[in-house]
Amino acid sequence: MKSAIITGATEGIGRATAIGIAKLGYKVIVIARNEKKAVELKEEIYFKTGNKETDYFLCELSSLKDVNATSIQIAKKYKQIDVLLNNAGLMMNERSLSKDGYEMNFAVNHLAHFLLTRNLLNSLEKARSARIVVVSSKMYEGAKADYDDLQSEKRYSMMNAYSVSKLFNLFFALELAEQLRKTKTTVNALHPGVVNTSLARDLKGPLKWIFSGIQPLFFSSIEKGAETSIYAATSGEMEGVTGKFLDKKEISGIKPVGLNTQNRKRIWKESEELIKKALKK
């Protein structure tokens, strides 16, 4: 039985993705911060798919030490992993810091998945043809990254901070795909669509009211949003395909901002250094 690890699977697109992949006969391994929700998801998967092969690990993605410890624990238990789906994400309307002192969008959406993936590479490479799937967003196109202020200390904008984190998701996927080009492991990023999810759960005040009001009216369902993730993780058509950006289950062109190799490598190096610093504390 093939296995798929999914972050952020207890809500929204991640939940629909976990159920969809379980239907295809995969063992679904959930990384969650809330045990009650993780147990409820296991029960829902069994009820809807008949698949009993599920597991979960508790992890706070805003703590790199927790991500490090959890990923080591997963690697010890699962010597082979077929799919890693980096799905979890958040959007903060006010600047806040992770447990390591890093800007929250940057820390959770990017750094946590960077470290998790790095620590699980050995287990992924033991699979016949492993897949790493990174949920990014077309919002990367409008990202205005300040490479001298990655923690948004000078200026913070909710939409830009989120967009920049999605750009860095794309950078990570493209750089890792290049590094793994000669292996059997593929890496692709994707845009899930404009979906009615709990992404804006951390918003406050008028913004939360606005998002809550317009999402059901204009955004796609979470099931629709999960389709591209499921496709990237399981479809035979994606066998051997790497270094691509998917939208609506099709390979999409990448805008110049996402193809800047110099910035891509700079963020990779900066990420390694920030992770090392956090783990040394």
User: Which residues are tagged catalytic?
Assistant: 162
Is the sign of the CA dihedral 227, 13, 150, 163 positive or negative? Answer: positive
How far apart are the C-alpha atoms of 204 and 157, rounded to whole Å? 14
Contacts of residues 260-268 at CB distance under 8 Å and 24 or more positions apart, as own/partner, are 263/145, 263/147, 263/171, 264/171, 264/174, 264/175, 265/175, 266/147, 267/147, 267/168, 267/171, 267/172, 268/171, 268/172, 268/175
Neighbour count for residue 21 (Cβ, 10 Å): 27
Q: Are 99 and 68 in contact (CB under 8 A)?
A: no
Q: Are 122 and 184 in contact (CB under 8 A)?
A: no
DSSP single-letter state for residue 212: H
DSSP single-letter state for residue 94: S
